[in-house]
Chains A and B, each alone.
Chain A
């Protein structure tokens, strides 16, 4: 098998020197950004040497038991679960037994943990024990951890970690990206023509993304359109300038919609087919009007006011005839930070209801419907509960809606929100 991984010669060589049939390294830590070829390199090296290994996607396993059982069944090469394995202790024991098998004599078994940062959410002993697995199980085993975050962030607890060998995968440079992309030339396409196209794609999108996967996706999505003038014969394949002129507006819309994946690929294809529909489609996807019941809107507005106004100012805004307010000595701090920047503050249910009753028009009975609307807003993630569940006599909330959203909601009920906000008065 070809062990050649583009633009990763250095890392591959490094891995090859560590990953051998019999090695002495207990653990390796590999980190680098998404789509920088970590898994690919490790798999290539392991496959090339035909070494026994188990790949573990940590995101899939929500308890340690599942991880252990997965590893043991894979190493045993059976479908039957290898007995109960609830904790690290029994795992180490069972692993030792498994690796006694003649298949594993004089061969190191490799355990590759993808997205190793998820291991941190497991009990505190798991990660240190995995790093010392070779020592603990007294067998030939090597743990490879693969993550997007550097090793420093793993050391939550100061003790018990055996430092692994770390290997960094630096992000691809622009030239690397072009090289890799142009190597993926589709069949029946001229290589130079495609390389040129890749240059163009990388140059346009390099400022927003360096993710290889994204660029690949973008290149695939737009290639058909790029070829169109050539296929119809309008432009010669070598006339790069004319081709660029033809594709430019398309790529500009792609920056806004495709990159954010606001459209699925099939929708994008549809849009390409009928050019004029492009703007329409993005519009209907973005502008989903929010419909809320009438009192829910007022509750939400009240919550927003409670979150962004200091409690002291409530008197000023909501008491209808508050008499003469004590004239404040105008020593306003010029650099007082706006509440909009600080973010929402928590408030009590009582305050919410008081504000609600002062802003809502007409008489509203405090029915159960009204109170269930609050929890409904929480489930819609427009409010968030701050207090714990034990504090049910005075629950506290926070408003999560943005000012823009609130403004659009208050416009529908003809409520002048800005008149009631402390920051704008």
Chain B
């Protein structure tokens, strides 16, 4: 939600720039006259605001929407794939439990989800719908916010009522004071009226339907950790009391580990449960999937730059294992990219004619300028800057180059990953994300050399496996690349035995040449010594070849994106905007606002140093700066005197003015208390305590 609001805000921002643009365009028509007529009232739509005559803005919006839907579909697919195993296991477990009734034990499942709190609600709602589809219509999701018995019973009542909304034979439950007796009554009424037609079910096959009464009642607790123990224990006790009437299956969402579930329940209660644990895949596995399928997707004309990628990664690994937040941040990047980079639209309109305005924009890009500078022929250089048609064709080829690069790069990155995986203590790191990060940052060369040094630990088989794996990956790549040298080395490795025999024969032939010759002791020793340093074995030779082949391969294929002309159109690397939007620093923002108000307020003059205090600053800012000079205890009277002296050197303006200043001071002091910078103290009556550290 917050992101959407932010999006709206940003669009407004672009709106402003759009209006200023319109102003420039339409000054001529304004001078001719002003007409007023009443039109029909129209509901404004977002497109009204962002469209202009060349359709650029609407294109931008379309582009943004296209990227977002792409990202969304990919993430949905990943979600579905990741949860699939868990869901099938759980569904079969619940089905078995529903059939196998026992009056002693309540069947329960615990889903151990790991720490990423905001992501869970999606998972549980998906699970709910899956269970409704395949097992039983009586699935009740108890959200984390219902954490008292009363609220739990309320949500049970309302959800059960909604299942059989249209059926008059089924007893309705009271919304506010629902008790277990109501639920049993409801269940009894189901048995007496049970007929398959009554069930509001999504499955269409009649054969699948069983009578409603035989369905188990599945209660899904979204956040087990938030429930108070007493409430949970009461709930389990009452479930057990009613096991004779109906079959109940409990599903708990446990965040950390199963032991937390056991430690919270008394032994008596936990003996009533027969729990089976289901482990969810950890969120880092999720992240790997996202990087593999979303960021390394060759079809997506959007990439994260090195810095932005690192920020998102850091936020994920260091702060919260939240996939959802990661995706939101991605979406923000896409949005900011589309807004700040108007000509990025041209990426998808590759075949279409570029407008002159687009060309101007592109000519201003640093990477394009660099490309022009690198152009050896001065004639071509000037053509690139002036001849529109030539530039257009050149841009198209450049775009095609980038496209090829994008299609190739994921595969090459994966090759690097297979390499780094097999080498112990690889300079890249074991994870795909680390490899991708160093590729994006352009420091892969040093790491690659480090890795080649460690290559000597690899055995022949391992080397062979490596090369086959790399060749296999590259064979999937849609764009052809030069792997012939790699293939050669691999051939040599596979025919190693034959080669070894040959070389042994050779060396044997060399050695035999010594026998029979007549020579003295000295020459013999010398010839033998000359032969000795030749102990580079055949394998080492081939390994050296392999290293050379790999080096040249990676040097050719792994190019840092910043070296590509027009990379700005595809890569988002605006770390400053992203940081300010994603990593909110409330305390720091407050301090900047108070110590350097000109950052936020335009009518305040910029100060030479942040320490200086003038009367032009806002009152609170003055009070804040003065309080920074004090020790932990602030004498209010002294503080006020300092405040007054800032505003006027002497009290010549009369008592009225002084009174005004006093009230302004008390107002700003109250504001500071509200902001949590000072606190009243009981130790000294006319003092306040400072809650901030240090000085400016």
- Interfacial residues of chain B within 301-334, with CB under 8 A of chain A in the complex: 315-321
Stretch from B234-242, B512-520, B606-614 contacting the other chain = B234-242
Shortest CB distance A348–B (Å): 12
Which residues of B lie under 8 Å from residue A266 when comparing CB positions? 96, 274, 276
Which residues of A lie under 8 Å from residue B225 when comparing CB positions? 379-381
Q: Cβ of B268 and Cβ of A34 under 8 Å apart?
A: yes
Stretch from A56-64, A196-204, A225-233, A330-338 contacting the other chain = A56-64
Shortest CB distance A122–B (Å): 13
A291's partner among B114, B679, B691 (CB-CB below 8 A) is: B114
Q: What total of A-B pairs shows CB separation below 8 Å? A: 134
**B68 an interface residue at 8 Å Cβ cutoff?**
no
**B341-361 interface code vs A (CB 8 A; 1 in, 0 out):** 000000000000000000000
**A6 an interface residue at 8 Å Cβ cutoff?**
no
**B618 an interface residue at 8 Å Cβ cutoff?**
no
Shortest CB distance A10–B (Å): 25
Q: Cβ of B282 and Cβ of A291 under 8 Å apart?
A: yes
Shortest CB distance B586–A (Å): 6
**B207 an interface residue at 8 Å Cβ cutoff?**
no
- Interfacial residues of chain B within 284-303, with CB under 8 A of chain A in the complex: 284
The interface size bin for chain B is 35 or more
**B672 an interface residue at 8 Å Cβ cutoff?**
no
Q: Cβ of A365 and Cβ of B585 under 8 Å apart?
A: yes
Q: A60-B241, A365-B588 are in contact. Are A380 and B115 (CB under 8 A)?
A: yes
Stretch from B258-266, B370-378, B469-477 contacting the other chain = B258-266
Q: A293-B317, A366-B585 are in contact. Are A260 and B262 (CB under 8 A)?
A: yes
Which residues of B lie under 8 Å from residue A65 when comparing CB positions? 177
**A288 an interface residue at 8 Å Cβ cutoff?**
yes
How far apart are the CA atoms of A289 and B284 in the complex, in Å?
13
B234's partner among A118, A286, A368 (CB-CB below 8 A) is: A118
* Residue in A closest to B274 when the chains form the complex, CB atoms: A264
Q: Cβ of B105 and Cβ of A265 under 8 Å apart?
A: yes
How far apart are the CA atoms of A79 and B182 in the complex, in Å?
10
Which residues of A lie under 8 Å from residue B179 when comparing CB positions? 60-61, 66, 69-70
**B634 an interface residue at 8 Å Cβ cutoff?**
no
How far apart are the CA atoms of A264 and B276 in the complex, in Å?
6
How far apart are the CA atoms of A214 and B270 in the complex, in Å?
11
Which residues of B lie under 8 Å from residue A262 when comparing CB positions? 262
Which residues of A lie under 8 Å from residue B258 when comparing CB positions? 285, 288
Shortest CB distance A161–B (Å): 24
Which residues of B lie under 8 Å from residue A101 when comparing CB positions? none
- Interfacial residues of chain B within 575-625, with CB under 8 A of chain A in the complex: 583-588
How far apart are the CA atoms of A372 and B317 in the complex, in Å?
15
**A366-389 interface code vs B (CB 8 A; 1 in, 0 out):** 111110110010011100000000
How far apart are the CA atoms of A34 and B584 in the complex, in Å?
54
Q: Cβ of B279 and Cβ of A60 under 8 Å apart?
A: no
**B432 an interface residue at 8 Å Cβ cutoff?**
no
Which residues of B lie under 8 Å from residue A376 when comparing CB positions? 115, 117, 320
- Interfacial residues of chain B within 141-156, with CB under 8 A of chain A in the complex: 148-150, 153
**A411 an interface residue at 8 Å Cβ cutoff?**
no
Which residues of A lie under 8 Å from residue B115 when comparing CB positions? 291-293, 296, 376, 380
How far apart are the CA atoms of A34 and B266 in the complex, in Å?
13
- Interfacial residues of chain B within 91-132, with CB under 8 A of chain A in the complex: 96, 104-105, 107, 112, 114-115, 117
How far apart are the CA atoms of A73 and B33 in the complex, in Å?
83
Which residues of A lie under 8 Å from residue B679 when comparing CB positions? 393
How far apart are the CA atoms of A40 and B587 in the complex, in Å?
64
Q: Cβ of B256 and Cβ of A264 under 8 Å apart?
A: no
The CB with the most chain A CB atoms within 10 A, among B96, B153, B257, B676, is that of B257
How far apart are the CA atoms of A70 and B182 in the complex, in Å?
10
**A267 an interface residue at 8 Å Cβ cutoff?**
yes
* Residue in A closest to B231 when the chains form the complex, CB atoms: A62
Q: Cβ of A290 and Cβ of B256 under 8 Å apart?
A: yes
**B211-234 interface code vs A (CB 8 A; 1 in, 0 out):** 000000000000101100000011
How far apart are the CA atoms of A295 and B319 in the complex, in Å?
6
Q: Cβ of B237 and Cβ of A373 under 8 Å apart?
A: no
Q: Cβ of A288 and Cβ of B112 under 8 Å apart?
A: yes
Q: Cβ of A367 and Cβ of B317 under 8 Å apart?
A: no
Shortest CB distance A380–B (Å): 6
How far apart are the CA atoms of A294 and B314 in the complex, in Å?
9
Q: A260-B262, A365-B583 are in contact. Are A285 and B315 (CB under 8 A)?
A: no
Q: Cβ of B274 and Cβ of A369 under 8 Å apart?
A: no
Which residues of A lie under 8 Å from residue B409 when comparing CB positions? none
**A213 an interface residue at 8 Å Cβ cutoff?**
yes
Q: Cβ of A367 and Cβ of B585 under 8 Å apart?
A: yes
**B271 an interface residue at 8 Å Cβ cutoff?**
yes
B255's partner among A213, A285, A370, A380 (CB-CB below 8 A) is: A380
* Residue in B closest to A73 when the chains form the complex, CB atoms: B181
The CB with the most chain B CB atoms within 10 A, among A61, A62, A213, A380, is that of A62
**B273 an interface residue at 8 Å Cβ cutoff?**
yes
Q: A296-B115, A369-B319 are in contact. Are A62 and B273 (CB under 8 A)?
A: no
* Residue in A closest to B100 when the chains form the complex, CB atoms: A266
Q: Cβ of B150 and Cβ of A217 under 8 Å apart?
A: no
Q: A60-B179, A294-B318, A370-B319 are in contact. Are A381 and B585 (CB under 8 A)?
A: no
Q: Cβ of A267 and Cβ of B259 under 8 Å apart?
A: no
Shortest CB distance B259–A (Å): 7
Which residues of B lie under 8 Å from residue A120 when comparing CB positions? none
How far apart are the CA atoms of A266 and B114 in the complex, in Å?
25
Shortest CB distance B94–A (Å): 13
* Residue in A closest to B587 when the chains form the complex, CB atoms: A366
Q: A288-B258, A290-B257 are in contact. Are A57 and B275 (CB under 8 A)?
A: no
**B176-214 interface code vs A (CB 8 A; 1 in, 0 out):** 010111000100000000000000000000000000000
Which residues of A lie under 8 Å from residue B268 when comparing CB positions? 34
**B277 an interface residue at 8 Å Cβ cutoff?**
yes
Shortest CB distance A314–B (Å): 15
* Residue in A closest to B226 when the chains form the complex, CB atoms: A379
Q: Cβ of B277 and Cβ of A60 under 8 Å apart?
A: no
How far apart are the CA atoms of A56 and B153 in the complex, in Å?
18
Q: Cβ of B241 and Cβ of A57 under 8 Å apart?
A: yes
Shortest CB distance B281–A (Å): 11
How far apart are the CA atoms of A367 and B319 in the complex, in Å?
10
A393's partner among B274, B588, B676 (CB-CB below 8 A) is: B676
How far apart are the CA atoms of A295 and B676 in the complex, in Å?
25
How far apart are the CA atoms of A366 and B316 in the complex, in Å?
16
Q: Cβ of A79 and Cβ of B185 under 8 Å apart?
A: yes
Q: What are 10 pairs between A and B in contact, CB < 8 Å? A: A62-B234, A211-B271, A264-B274, A267-B276, A286-B259, A293-B316, A293-B318, A369-B315, A380-B115, A381-B225
Binding site for B on A (CB under 8 A): 34, 57, 59-63, 65-66, 69-70, 73, 79, 115, 118, 211, 213-214, 217, 260-262, 264-267, 285-286, 288-296, 365-370, 372-373, 376, 379-381, 393
Given contacts A285-B258, A373-B320, 18 further A-B contacts (CB under 8 A): A59-B233, A59-B241, A60-B179, A60-B180, A63-B150, A79-B185, A261-B273, A264-B105, A264-B275, A266-B274, A290-B256, A291-B114, A293-B115, A293-B320, A367-B583, A367-B585, A381-B260, A393-B679
The 8 closest A-B pairs by CB, nearest first: A288-B257, A264-B274, A369-B319, A60-B238, A59-B237, A294-B318, A62-B149, A59-B234
